Structure 1
Amino acid sequence: MDLQVVKRSNKPLLRNELQTNKDYVPLEDSFKDVSVWNSHLAQESLPRWFDGIWLMAECYFYRRIFESFQMTSKLKTYDYFGEQKETALETSMLAVNALTGTLSASTVCLSQLIEVSLWGNKCDLSFTAGKPTSQKANPISTLETLRPNILQDDTVELIEYIYSKKKLKVSFVLDNAAFELITDLVLMDYMMTHGLASQICIYVKMMPWFVSDALGHDVSYVIDRLEQSDSASTASLGQRCREHIASKQWTIEERTYWTLPFDYADMSHRDPQLYDELAHSDLIIFKGDLNYRKLVGDRAWKPTTKFRISLMGFEPAPLVTLRTIKTDTVTGLAEGVAEVEEKKCAEWMVSSEFAVVEFVNPRS
């Protein structure tokens, strides 16, 4: 291994910085986002590990890990979370085969696949501190049991919008690789094969991020694994995904903004090109907890605050968030819902047992 991974310039080890509440220090690698990060770090009022903004600290932590590998000569493109993601996928393949078998043998509707994609978000390696996480059961069979845990459900409004438009141009902002990614591919494939989408732009991270976030090669790896399956229905799904990409109906895109520490409400002035890309969509699908936190600014909103208000003006196109709740911020809930769950379990907001499907259409 390149020794620079362990010993980098004159900086102390990252662990020591964390343990002793050191100031954030500028990045030293040459990746394309360094100037943005360093400019932002210079403007922070309390740029220290214990005293700063939590979301900023998390993003900076993962960016610093990436910096260590960028400072090497041979490990710049190494995915140091890759093995964990691959293990999580392999331990979920029985559930994948059961899911694809159900899809091929019965009539499954769009609302069910939205829920499957939603609950796929429970499989998050950053939430389990990197410990293996996998799906064991056929997710279709668990939907009825899980449905009461969707605390705000705009699925009906979302589906009405999709069917009123059809042939949508969709931007799909991924969260996790492995099983969750497969549930996302299932949803995207359904939309394509049923004429509900004509083009899907799949946004991935451009660096290893929050352990299990999907990178471009994760999409390729998952599709390869699907195609190699002994299950005919699983292999067929992989083949269709491959065809969607080969025909350019699906494109896989990286953008630096997804791994910067900024709210999405800042996107229009910090990255107007990305904002404009999203504005040309008919529907944006945001997956997962981190995307949700950036949508609402990771603020301590009252749970009854309207979801659209909490977006703080981020309205490039109609959008939906499919999120299992893992951190203590949420909006769009009906009066009394949060209080009921709080009485049942004080940790309800960090359990991943509850979820929201929240849809906003600024063009209506």
Structure 2
Amino acid sequence: MAAVPALPVSLSGRFKGSFAYFTIKDRLPQILTRVIDTLHRHKNEFFEEHGEKGVEAEKRAISFLSKLRNELQTDKPVTPLEDELPDAALWNQYLDYQRNLPNGNGEPSWFQSPWLYVECYMYRRIHAALAQNPPIDNFDVFKEGKAQNFFESQEAVIALCTYFQELLKNIKDLDEKQLQEELFKLLQVSLWGNKCDLSFSAGEDSSQKSSPLQSLENMVPYILVNDMEKVWSLLVNAKKNRTERSNVRVDIILDNAGFELVSDLVLADFLLSSKLADEVYFHGKSIPWYVSDTTKHDFNWTIKQLGSANHMWMSRCGINWEGNLKKGVWVFHDHMFWTLPHDFSSMSEVASDLYAELQKSNLLLFKGDLNYRKLTGDRKWEYSVPFHQALNKFHPAPLCSLRTLKSDTQVGLKPGQGEQIQASESEWMGELIFILRHLIELQ
């Protein structure tokens, strides 16, 4: 029996000059500083709503976060969670696992431990700072930024909703080739929508100012791996093989709120309207996460904003999407696993209920960089390693990753392709090169 090759090392802040090092050194402290500033700015609001109790809670939360920032900047050991939230035991078990790794660096700390772990841990501690301090325990410190991103992307949202509503008028008359072209367009819009990421910009404005539909042709050369044809074939075959008892189901594992979420909702509506899918399940975060990730509140708020917009096609989209939720052809799920530090190869063990849910899908669309990092274990893979190998046996259903590169992990390239791009574009990580990556490995 052939030996299983050892997994590459995890990306971490101990590799100076890496994106992980830059993130832990600069971006994470900036994000914490913005969170502290946000709480300061809402002091009067907390007082008006909750009196002195609100102000005391705000002071305690700020003290907790200031201590956290100091621990991070001085590379202190990662400490167990002391709250009693439902996921605390799983987090503390994961800390023990990190402590006992045979090739570990001793006591886990901010710069020495896997970047994926400590970055997730920071967001979980931000959540604890609020959750442990009622009456401000339900305050989302990232809500303002997400709303601002949505409103500042209005031009692009209007353009996309208008395009889509015009498309719906004629969708029944489109032949298979035309349907395929429209699917490819909307997949690409959803891909480019992933640029709007507030954790990458450390909370700075990252809204989509213009219509991405106008620049799709120009952006094609920047797609490193393009398996859209396979996505089309998979959906068409699923539709042909559907029986009266079985629906074609697509699951979208969401990333950012704002314009990206709107682009995902348009794609989901197209899948239903074109009859390529019968139902779409959306998977979001159960707590505020990575600055701009989509929670249930963000999901519902966005659809309501569209529905009440003073623009015919925006409001038409919002009203239709409310209807999809009421009819049950769209379903929103959140699950604790999406905000744990584990990569997805652990899902069947840590969250067997979620894994079983995903197994019901015909196609899983994973949005964004964090999902890609969790799919591939956020390791120092060679660029040419096949995607299915990096998945490390994670395969509940055929899956597709739509991701804008914002970090170092990248697999599935042709031999020499990564090195060639790196030589010509020294800033290719997190700058100009984006990816649509798809794996179909039917068992």
TM-score between both structures, scaled by the size of structure 2: 0.79
2:6 is aligned to none
Does residue 85 of the first structure (1) align with residue 165 of the second (2)?
Answer: no
Instruction: Give a deviation string over 1:268-288, Cα, whole Å, max 9, x none.
Output: 111111111111111111000
Q: Is the Cα–Cα contact under 8 Å of residues 230 and 440 in structure 2 kept in the other structure?
A: no
Matching residue within 416, 424, 427 for 1:336: 416
Q: C-alpha offsets along residues 183-207 of structure 1, whole Å, 9 cap, x if unaligned?
A: 0000000001111111111111011
Aligned to 1:177: 257
More deviation in 28-37 or 179-188?
28-37
C-alpha distance in structure 2 between counterparts of 1:321 and 1:20, whole Å? 35
Q: Tell me the CA shift for residue 5 of structure 1.
A: 4.7
Cα drift, residue 230 of structure 1: 2.2
- Does residue 30 of the first structure (1) align with residue 84 of the second (2)? yes
Q: Alpha-carbon deviation of 1:103?
A: 2.3
Matches within 5 A, 1:301-340: 301-340=381-420
The CA deviation at 1:7 is 3.2
1:230-277: CA deviation from partner (whole Å, max 9, x where unpaired): 221111111111111011111111101101111101111111111111
Q: CA deviation at 1:4?
A: 4.2
Aligned partners of 2:164 and 2:266 also within 8 Å: no
Tell me the residue number matched to 2:56.
3
- Structure 2 Cα separation of the partners of residues 104 and 15 of structure 1: 47
Q: Does 1:126 align with 2:180?
A: no
Q: Corresponding residue for 1:69?
A: 130
For residue 97 of structure 1, the aligned residue among 158, 180, 184 is 158
Q: In the alignment, what sits opposite 1:60?
A: 121
Q: What is the CA-CA distance between 1:362 and the residue it aligns to? A: 2.6
Shift of 1:23: 1.3
Aligned residue runs from structure 1 range 1-364, under 5 A? 1-7=54-60, 13-45=67-99, 46-106=107-167, 109-166=182-239, 167-351=247-431, 353-363=432-442
The one-letter amino acid of 1:327's match is S
| Partner SS for 1:253 | strand
> What TM-score do you get using the length of structure 1 for normalisation?
0.96
After superposition, the C-alpha distances for 1:129-186 in whole angstroms (9 at most, x for unaligned) are 1001111111111100111100000001111111121252122100000000000000
SS in 1 for 2:402: strand
CA contact (8 A) 1:223 1:242 kept: yes
One-letter code of the match for 2:200?
A: F
The equivalent residue for 2:8 is: none
Secondary structure of 2:355's partner?
helix
- Encode CA deviations 1:25-61: one digit per residue, 9 max, x unaligned: 1112221101101121133223211211111110000
Contact 1:5 1:71 in 2 (8 A): no
**Cα distance between partner residues in 2 of 1:20 and 1:360:** 41
Distance, in Å, in 2 between the alignment partners of 1:363 and 1:192 is 23
Aligned residue identity for 1:134: S
Say whether the 8 Å CA contact 1:173–1:202 is kept in structure 2. yes
Contact 2:192–2:404 under 8 Å retained in 1: yes
- Is the alpha carbon distance of 1:58 and 1:322 closer, same or farther for their aligned partners in structure 2, counting shifts above 3 Å? same
- Tell me, in whole angstroms, the C-alpha distance in 2 between the residues paired with 1:361 and 1:239: 34
Cα distance in 1 for residues equivalent to 2:98 and 2:433: 34
* Alpha-carbon shift at residue 2 of structure 1 (Å): 4.6
Please, which runs of 5 or more residues in structure 1 have no aligned partner? none
Separation in 2 of the partners of 1:22 and 1:363? 45
1:359, 1:345 → 2: CA distance? 24
How many corresponding residue pairs? 363
Moved more, 91-100 or 288-297: 91-100
Sequence identity percentage? 38
User: Is the CA contact (8 Å cut-off) linking 1:119 and 1:324 kept in structure 2?
Assistant: yes
The letter of the residue matching 2:185 is Q
- Matched residue type, 1:129: A
SS of alignment partner, residue 189 of structure 2: helix
For 2:403 and 2:248, the matched residues in 1 are separated by 22
Answer with 331-340 or 268-277: which moved more: 331-340
User: How far apart, CA to CA, are the structure 2 residues paired with 1:231 and 1:261?
Assistant: 41
Task: Give the structure with the higher percent helix.
Answer: 2
Task: Note closer, same or farther for the CA distance 1:33–1:2 as it changes in structure 2 (3 Å cut).
Answer: farther
The residue type equivalent to 2:237 in the other structure is: S
Q: Which moved more, 1:276-285 or 1:118-127?
A: 276-285
In the TM superposition, residue 307 of structure 1 has moved relative to its aligned partner by 0.7
Structure 1 residues 127-136 or 332-341, which shifts more?
332-341
Q: Structure 2: state its 5+ residue gaps.
A: 1-53, 100-106, 171-180, 240-246
SS at match of 1:197: coil
Q: Is the 8 A contact 1:30 1:70 kept in 2?
A: no
Work out whether residues 75 and 111 of structure 2, in 8 Å CA contact, stay in contact via their aligned partners in 1.
yes
Q: Who wins on radius of gyration, i.e. which is larger?
A: 2
Cα distance in 2 for partners of 1:183, 1:54 equals 29
